[in-house]
Amino acid sequence: MIGVDNSILYTALPELRQQLGTSETQALWVINAYPLVLAGLLLGTGSLGDRIGHRLMFLIGLTIFGLASLAAAFAPGAWFLVAARAFLGLGAATMMPATLALIRITFTDERERNTAIGVWGSVAVIGAALGPVIGGLLLEHFWWGSVFLINVPIVIAALVATVAVAPPNMPNPNRRWDALSSLQALVTLASLVTAIKELANPDRTGWLLAVASLLTVGGAVLFVRRQRRLDDPLLTFDIFRSRIFTGGVLAATGAMFAVAGLELLTTQRFQLVAGYSPLEAGLIVVAVTIAAFPFSLLGGASLHRVGFVPLIPGGFLAVTLGVSLATWAGSQDRLVLFIGALALVGAGAGAIMSVSSTAIIGSAPVRRAGMAAGVEAVSYEFGTLLSVAILGSLLPLLYARTAGAGMVITALDAAAYDTAYLNLLAALAVIAGVFALITAWCFRGNPKGAHAPE
């Protein structure tokens, strides 16, 4: 559900522009408000979960998520919807670290834990990949608010299941939670996104770009200084000394950057240029899901035999080849080959995300399970956040420069749109290749598991 809400609006953007009158900037904020708040608060909610108990945190998060879904479904305007999406991010941030922390607590055997985390990763991949399809299916029969209303019965079912089967709540009152640190992280990320959007805007407001840049740097500096002074920080930076941990963080970030960017760009291209319906555009990218699912399951189960290198650097190599092939197939109008290329991307991303969580959670001490779960979740959401902010802002900019027009995208300028789209796909392939090289260095020696220090 958390993953679906990240991408379910990709196919709904044309409907939002038509029915709510959203501008390009408002549309990007509607998408980004959710991962922005989610990523900004995840570190704090992971530590708060250590303090009050992860089961209780999960129940609180579910409740917030359900109420925010109702508000989003009946939003009367664009900025109200942005606010509701922000509250959805709050609910997701509250419950997401608890899911992985509960897995760490429940599964003490390493192989069982790796398999469980692999299943968790596959659900995250599939949720993100299925979002455009689910959104398109709902929009074929209902109004745009249905993409949020569908969350409510799922929340109710999850509340009942959690009360029935989840492990007992195990709070740690000695664990402190620092609200100011969470606020500093949120301000830093919000300022970063604002700076990216303004930088890509040819009609940028100079003072807003300057203020956003200063707040980004200042917020980051204040956050780091505060963590070093606290006895019980939200994030201890020595945890990144483990190259396995760092490699897992980079893998999760890079994989979600590639998947989210590819889905956002592709669903918009096929609706605006090729005239596809939301459902048809969503079905184009379902190839990512179909390929990701088996590789997500196999990755976690086979890690102890094959090691990290074939799954993470090898997965990024598959993503690089897949996006490169999609770029060529798109330029030649070869739809079947294009869909096959998306499947290759899904296979690579599924392999990566099945074990990136294992690298992060498994290499962190048990006493920092909540902190590690928060970092893991931030990694995924930060990848999505950056992808939507950067690629979503660059697309109208490149389109405008190619078409020699304004920032409004229309189907009448299909050639200009396709040029911008294919250039961004090529850039995405290069970025995936860079992640392949960096993670190959992090996992050198091909370790076959992640072990926390004593």
Residue among 244, 454, 239, 251 nearest 350 (CA) = 251
Contact of 15 with 8, CB cutoff 8 Å: no
Token pair, residue 159, equals 């509340």
| Residue in the structure block whose two tokens are 């009942």 | 160
Checking if the pLDDT of 367 tops 80, the result is no
Cα separation, 76 vs 24, whole angstroms: 18
**Residue owning tokens 């000695």:** 174
Range with top average pLDDT, 26-35, 264-273, 323-332, 405-414: 323-332
Which uninterrupted H or E stretch holds 330? helix 313-331
Whether CATH 1.20.1250.20 fits 2-177+234-442: yes
Q: What is residue 67's predicted lDDT score, i.e. its pLDDT?
A: 93
Higher pLDDT, 57 or 432: 432
Could you tell me which of 93, 379, 109 has the C-alpha nearest to residue 247?
Answer: 379
Whole-angstrom CA distances from 437 to 1, 19, 159, 210, 241 are: 32, 45, 42, 34, 19
Whole-angstrom distance, CA of residue 31 vs CA of residue 27: 7
pLDDT at 71: 92
| Residue 251 clears pLDDT 90, i.e. is over it | yes
Q: By CB neighbour count within 10 A (0-12 exposed, 13-18 middle, 19+ buried), where does 165 fall?
A: exposed
The helix/strand/coil state of 167 is coil
Task: Find the mean pLDDT for residues 153-167.
Answer: 83
Query: Which of the two residues, 71 and 165, has the higher pLDDT score?
Result: 71
What's the rounded Cα separation, in Å, for the pair 39 and 60? 18
Q: Which two tokens stand for residue 215?
A: 């707040």
289 alpha carbon, distance to own chain's centre:
15
SS3 assignment, position 444: coil
* 425-430 long-range contacts, CB within 8 A, separation 24+: 425/262, 425/265, 425/323, 425/326, 425/327, 425/330, 426/324, 426/327, 428/258, 428/261, 428/262, 428/323, 428/391, 429/320, 429/323, 429/324, 429/327
CB atoms within 10 A of CB 388: 28
pLDDT at residue number 116 = 72
Residue 445 pLDDT greater than 80, yes or no: yes
pLDDT, the chain, mean: 82
Mention every residue, 6+ apart, whose C-beta is less than 8 A from residue 164: none
Q: Please tell me the total number of residues recorded for the chain in this structure.
A: 454
- The reported pLDDT for the residue numbered 202 is 65
In terms of average pLDDT, the best of 123-132, 288-297, 410-419 is 288-297
Nearest to 284 by CA among 302, 297, 267, 305: 267
DSSP 23: -
Q: Compute CA distances 205 → 24, 33, 195, 333, whole Å.
A: 16, 21, 10, 39
| Six token digits for residue 300 | 């976690």
Tokens 């390929």 appear where? Answer: 291
In the DSSP assignment, the letter for residue 9 is T
The percentage of residues in the chain with a pLDDT greater than 70, rounded to a whole number, is 87
The residues, any chain, with a CB within 8 Å of residue 418's CB and separated by 6 or more, are 269, 273, 330, 331
How confident is the model at residue 343, as a pLDDT? Answer: 94
Q: At what angle do helices 24-52 and 78-106 cross, to 10 degrees?
A: 30
Find all residues with CB under 8 Å of 178, minimum gap 6, and list them: 44, 47, 226, 230, 232, 233, 234
Residue 107 confidence (pLDDT) above 90? no
CB distance 64 to 50 below 8 Å: no
Can you give the pLDDT at residue 411?
47
Could you give the residue ranges of the DSSP H alpha helices within 274-312?
A: 278-284, 286-306
- Beta carbons of 139 and 15 less than 8 angstroms apart: yes
53: left (phi over 0), alpha (psi -120 to 50) or beta: left
pLDDT digits (tens, 9 = 90+) for 47-74: 777 778 778 888 898 999 999 999 998 9
Higher per-residue confidence, 257 vs 358: 257
Under the banding of pLDDT at 50, 70 and 90, the label for residue 345 is: very high
Tally Cβ neighbours within 10 Å of residue 6: 27
Contact 292, 35 (CB under 8 A): no
What residue spans define the domains of the chain? Answer: 2-177+234-442, 181-233
